[in-house]
Structure 1
C-alpha cells in the first residue's frame, strides 16, 4: 500500500512523460498519444489524465492545440517544476463534495430563519454576478461559507474556508477553473436554490443530496471544459468538411 508520501497520480504521469521528453522519446513538436491511449497506459481516469496534461502546460512541457491534440514544446530554462502545481480542481471539488455535502445536511438541522434569509439574499447576488458575467464568483464563495456558518461548528467552517482558499493558491486549480469559465460555465442558480430549499425545509437528506449533486455537476463541467480530443476535434473536422464542400459546390 502506498504511504502518505506517495506522489499524486497526476504528478506520477507528469514525471514519467517529462522523463520521456528529456530522453528524446518525444521531441519538440511531437504529438503526445491521444487521451484514450494514455488513460489505458497509466490506468487512471480521464479526470486524472487531464489534470496531468494541464499541469504539463503550466510548467511549459506541452501545449494543447484545439482540434489537434497535445504537443511537446521547446524546452525553457524558466519552467516550473511539477512540485509547484499543488492541487487540481478535480481533486479539490471531490473533497468539497464530501465535506460540503455533510455540511449542508447539518445546516438543515441547525439553521434558523436568519440563516435562510441570508442565503436567499446571497443567491440574488449570485444571479446578478451571472448576469454581469463576473468571473470572481464572490457570491458563490459567500453562499457556501454561509452554509458552513449555519452549522454553528467553527471547525467545519474552517475546513470549508480552507478548501475555497486552495482554489486561489493552486496554479493547477486556477488554470482548470479558468478553462471552465472560458467555456461559459457559471454558478448554477437552480442547484443553489435547491440546496437552500432543502435546508429551509429541515431536510438533511435532501440538503446533502442537493449539495453533492451540485458539486458532481461542477466536476462534469470541468470534464467538458478540459476535453482534449473530443468535442473541439469534431467541430474542427466538421468545419473543414463544410469548407471543402463549399469550395467545390457547383455555381
Structure 2
C-alpha cells in the first residue's frame, strides 16, 4: 500500500481520530500516491494500516466524500475524485453518527433506568401514542425523525432531571448540526433504515414494569442495533457482496437445471 501513514495515538492536537485518518488519506492523495479516479484501498486494509476500527475508517471516508476528496461507487468501492481539492481542512465536520450514537447509548441507557422509577401514567400513554406516530411516519416515509426524537425526549423528561433533558436534547440536535452526521443519517434513510418499532415497544414495556435494569438494557440494545444499522447502511461493499451472492446462486441454479 502507498499510504505510509503516521502513527495514530492519543489525539494530542484536539482532532478526533476519524479526522486524523481523513487528513492522512487526503495528504497521501495530495502528494500523488493516488491519482484522480483511482480506487483507494478497502476499508479493511485501511483499518489494518492505521490500526483503528472499521467504523472510524467509515467516518473518515464519508468525511472525505462530504469534502469532495473521494466519491463512492455503489458496489465498487471508494475512488479519488476527478478533481480533488488541494486543501481539505477537517474543521467544521464535527461529530460522526457512530460516535454520537455510542454516546447516546451510554447516556440514554442510564436515563431510561432513572425514568423507570419516576415515569407517570400520562407519560407512558404519550410514549404509546408516539410509537403509533412512528409507525405512521415509517409507512408514509416522512422525512426526519419527529416521533422518534420526541419518544426519547419524553423518557428524558420522565427522569425529572432538567440536566438529563438538556443532554439528551443536545445529543439529538447534534445529529442535525453536524454535516458529517447528517450525511451519514441521510444515507441510511436512503437505503430504507427507519426507527425500529419493536425495539421502542420493548423500551416502553420495561418502563411500564418500572424495571430500571430492563429499561437500561432495552435502551442500550436498541441503540446498539442503531449502530449496526448505520454500519450496514454505509457499507460501500454491500452491493458488491450482494451481486456476488446473486451470481453464485445463478450459477448454482444453472448447474441444477443442467442435471
Structure 1 length normalisation: TM-score?
A: 0.91
Following the alignment from structure 1 to structure 2, what is the Cα–Cα distance between the partners of residues 184 and 94?
21
Answer with 161-170 or 121-130: which moved more: 121-130
Answer with 5-14 or 157-166: which moved more: 5-14
Following the alignment from structure 2 to structure 1, what is the Cα–Cα distance between the partners of residues 87 and 158?
44
Matches within 5 A, 1:67-82: 67-75=75-83, 81-82=89-90
Answer yes or no: is 1:162 the counterpart of 2:170: yes
Matches within 5 A, 1:88-107: 88-107=96-115
- Which residue among 181, 188, 192 is the counterpart of 1:180? 188
Structure 2 length normalisation: TM-score?
A: 0.89
Contact between 1:58 and 1:80, CA under 8 Å: does it hold in 2? no
- Cα offset, 1:76, TM superposition: 5.1
- Cα offset, 1:218, TM superposition: 0.1
Instruction: Identify the residue that residue 241 of structure 2 maps to in structure 1.
Output: 234
Following the alignment from structure 1 to structure 2, what is the Cα–Cα distance between the partners of residues 139 and 159?
18
Q: Which structure 1 segments of 5+ residues have no match? A: none
Matches within 5 A, 1:73-152: 73-75=81-83, 81-152=89-160
**RMSD, aligned α-carbons:** 2.2
Instruction: Identify the residue that residue 153 of structure 1 maps to in structure 2.
Output: 161
Contact between 1:60 and 1:79, CA under 8 Å: does it hold in 2? no
Following the alignment from structure 1 to structure 2, what is the Cα–Cα distance between the partners of residues 63 and 222?
19
Contact between 1:107 and 1:147, CA under 8 Å: does it hold in 2? yes
Answer yes or no: is 1:48 the counterpart of 2:68: no
- Cα offset, 1:135, TM superposition: 2.2
Aligned pair in 2 of structure 1 residues 112, 104: CA closer, same or farther (>3 Å)?
Answer: same
Q: Give the match's secondary structure for 1:29.
A: coil
Contact between 2:26 and 2:88, CA under 8 Å: does it hold in 1? no
Following the alignment from structure 2 to structure 1, what is the Cα–Cα distance between the partners of residues 141 and 129?
18
- Cα offset, 1:6, TM superposition: 3.3
Instruction: Identify the residue that residue 217 of structure 1 maps to in structure 2.
Output: 225
Q: Give the match's secondary structure for 2:116.
A: helix
Instruction: Identify the residue that residue 40 of structure 2 maps to in structure 1.
Output: 32
